[in-house]
């Protein structure tokens, strides 16, 4: 009986990263804030989406991808609408923009991720923006002429 429980637990924990659309999105979001490279997340992106992110029309991809001055505060999946082969997940992020080790801004954003099933793995095919709110945590000095 113990071996059966251990095997079941191992199977469930290993199916995590791309076993569900939510787990694939979780990995993608957390990878962004852990400063993993775009190449390291390639397995979680469709080929077309990866090509869009790395293509010639996107020359600042590496600069945009680096989030080392951002600290994730909150991440939450709001809604999920899935079929057998595709899925749309609306999610919320809040994060701090840091400068000199201090939180300068709090940003809250809502996005929609589109995922498709590819060889029994869920992959992100697009991320679209809904809205963003920026809040300065410090007084902003504006100099006048």
Domain harbouring 84, CATH code: 3.10.450.50
Beta strand segments in 83-143, E: 86-99, 102-118, 121-136
Instruction: Determine whether 137 is exposed, middle or buried from the number of CB atoms within 10 Å of its CB (0-12, 13-18, 19+).
Output: exposed
This prediction has a pTM of 0.78
DSSP strand pairing (121-136 vs 102-118) = antiparallel
- Residue 104: inside a domain, yes or no? yes
Range of the domain at 96: 18-136
- Residue 119: inside a domain, yes or no? yes
Task: Indicate the range of 48-52, 83-87, 105-109 predicted with least confidence.
Answer: 48-52
Total domains, the chain:
1
91-120: pLDDT as tens digits: 999 999 998 888 999 999 999 999 999 988
């Amino acid at each position: 009986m113990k071996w059966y429980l251990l095997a079941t637990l191992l199977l469930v924990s290993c199916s995590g990263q791309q076993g569900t659309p939510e787990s694939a999105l979780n990995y993608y979001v957390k990878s962004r804030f852990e400063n993993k490279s775009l190449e390291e997340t390639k397995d979680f992106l469709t080929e077309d989406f990866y090509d869009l992110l790395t293509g010639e029309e996107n020359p600042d991809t590496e600069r945009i991808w680096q989030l080392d001055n951002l600290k994730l505060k909150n991440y939450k999946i709001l809604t999920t609408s899935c079929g057998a082969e595709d899925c749309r997940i609306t999610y919320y992020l809040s994060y701090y923009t840091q400068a000199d080790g201090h939180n300068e801004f709090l940003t809250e954003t809502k996005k929609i991720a589109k995922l498709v099933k590819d060889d029994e793995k869920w992959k992100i095919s697009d991320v679209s923006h809904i809205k963003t709110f920026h809040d300065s945590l410090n007084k902003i000095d504006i100099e006048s002429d």
